[in-house]
């Protein structure tokens, strides 16, 4: 079976960005069924990408990458900081002998705009990522995890990204964000250089109507949208270890035709199979709707980014980002990423000291002060002790 063969598109209707689905030969369990993954177009990049992609962040087994690639997944998302660079190295080793036209690579680098040497540091980081990936260029280069308004259109960042693109080191410019998403999208539209936005997007979001309107404005301006954090932390309640039904979560995301693809971070063959089953049958089911409605009542690990807590908190702490670090540690079991997230925020581990009563009323039911106390001390743990 030729993995690049296309069949007539029939799964979705009504979205201008739809094209014929990717045809794949088999699931990773070796069943020889012919299955199809619908394909959508990523904004003005024109890239045709299956609705299911791979967030490689925590995957450290190249056999899972190989299985995803052979199952018809073509878009792989990594970052400069994942696994201290080993994630990019793994992808570089896997793709070095593959036809460059059969896959799309995105990587991300954080921009330290406080540094006076920002431009050279940023270029050095991109060059290191390219060496690890064993590539002359990446398809999509994201500025990683922009959280504050005003950074997307920072003049030094904009000029540096334009330089990278003119030198051919990156094909398309993007940024990733978990916070202030409608405002960030509007800034991206105004700046005019951004081709792709990678945003957290899932069934729990508290700002969905406002966000969907901003996404539509972005799509109208030619920006393509990729969804991350699609499984809202991946666990059904904050105390348990029962995994969410990832297929239902993905089908919810794909309802929005303006989301080109989702990048769940599957790390095993079972999780890949679960995602593939969703992609082969991507319409949202009645059972999915009922399941997700039930989950919304649980205290999940995922912070819904309503941002109410920032004004509630007497110290205006960056609580949504701290809650994300909590999820990385207690949900993803990825303490080094949790620490990195908090170090970026310049936290000390004693954020709530001197505050006798927490004034935050989180609509998700989080005991925010307890979670802050449970995660921020990780900034003082030597990185060599963390995985």
Residues in touch with ligand SF4 (CB under 6 A): 303-309, 313-315, 317, 319-320, 323, 352, 355, 358-360, 362-364, 366, 368-369, 372
Nearer to ligand SF4, 45 or 204 (CB): 204
Closest approach, Cβ 367 to ligand SF4, in A, equals: 10
The whole-angstrom separation of Cα 350 and Cα 375 is 10
Closest approach, Cβ 233 to ligand SF4, in A, equals: 12
Helix, strand, or coil here: 221? coil
Residue 116, C-beta contacts closer than 8 angstroms, at least 6 positions apart: none
Residue 54 CA: distances (Å) to CA of 16, 37, 57, 160: 24, 13, 9, 28
Closest approach, Cβ 324 to ligand SF4, in A, equals: 9
SS (H, E, C) 144-163: CCCCCCCCCCCHHHHHHHHH
Closest approach, Cβ 218 to ligand SF4, in A, equals: 22
Closest approach, Cβ 134 to ligand SF4, in A, equals: 39
Nearer to ligand SF4, 235 or 303 (CB): 303
Beta strands at 54-55 and 47-50: parallel, antiparallel or unpaired: unpaired
Structure-token pair, residue 339: 């620490």
Closest approach, Cβ 246 to ligand SF4, in A, equals: 21
Structure-token pair, residue 238: 């904050």
The whole-angstrom separation of Cα 170 and Cα 136 is 9
The whole-angstrom separation of Cα 231 and Cα 228 is 8
Query: How is the beta sheet containing 35-42 ordered, strand by strand?
Result: 18-24, 35-42, 47-50
Nearer to ligand SF4, 66 or 315 (CB): 315
């Amino acid at each position: 079976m030729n993995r690049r063969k296309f069949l007539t598109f029939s799964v979705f209707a009504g979205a201008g960005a739809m094209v014929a689905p990717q045809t794949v030969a088999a699931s990773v369990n070796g069943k020889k069924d012919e299955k199809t993954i619908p394909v959508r177009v990523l904004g003005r990049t024109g890239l045709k990408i299956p609705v299911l992609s791979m967030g490689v962040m925590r995957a450290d087994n190249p056999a899972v990458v190989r299985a995803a690639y052979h199952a018809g997944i073509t878009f792989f998302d990594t970052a400069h900081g994942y696994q201290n660079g080993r994630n990019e190295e793994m992808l570089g080793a896997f793709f070095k002998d593959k036809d460059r036209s059969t896959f799309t690579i995105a990587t991300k680098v954080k921009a330290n705009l406080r540094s006076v040497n920002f431009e050279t540091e940023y270029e050095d980081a991109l060059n290191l990522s390219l060496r690890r990936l064993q590539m002359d260029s990446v398809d999509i280069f994201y500025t990683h995890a922009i959280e504050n308004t005003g950074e997307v259109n920072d003049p030094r960042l904009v000029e540096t990204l334009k330089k990278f693109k003119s030198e051919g080191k990156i094909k398309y410019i993007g940024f990733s964000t978990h916070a202030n998403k409608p405002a960030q999208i509007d800034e991206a539209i105004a700046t005019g250089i951004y081709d792709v936005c990678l945003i957290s997007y899932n069934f729990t979001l508290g700002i969905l109507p406002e966000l969907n309107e901003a996404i539509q404005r972005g799509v109208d301006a030619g920006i393509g949208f990729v969804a991350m954090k699609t499984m809202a932390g991946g666990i059904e309640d904050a105390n348990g270890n029962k995994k969410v039904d990832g297929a239902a979560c993905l089908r919810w995301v794909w309802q929005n035709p303006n989301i080109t693809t989702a990048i769940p971070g599957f790390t095993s063959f079972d999780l890949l199979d679960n995602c593939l089953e969703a992609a082969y049958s991507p319409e949202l089911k009645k059972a999915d709707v009922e399941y997700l409605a039930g989950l919304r009542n649980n205290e999940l690990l995922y912070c819904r980014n309503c941002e109410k807590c920032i004004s509630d908190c007497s110290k205006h702490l960056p609580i949504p980002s701290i809650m994300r670090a909590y999820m990385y540690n207690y949900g993803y079991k990825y303490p080094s990423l949790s620490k990195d997230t908090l170090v970026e925020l310049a936290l000390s581990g004693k954020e709530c000291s001197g505050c006798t009563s927490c004034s935050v009323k989180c609509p998700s039911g989080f005991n925010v002060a307890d979670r802050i106390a449970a995660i921020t001390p990780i900034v003082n743990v030597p990185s060599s002790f963390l995985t």
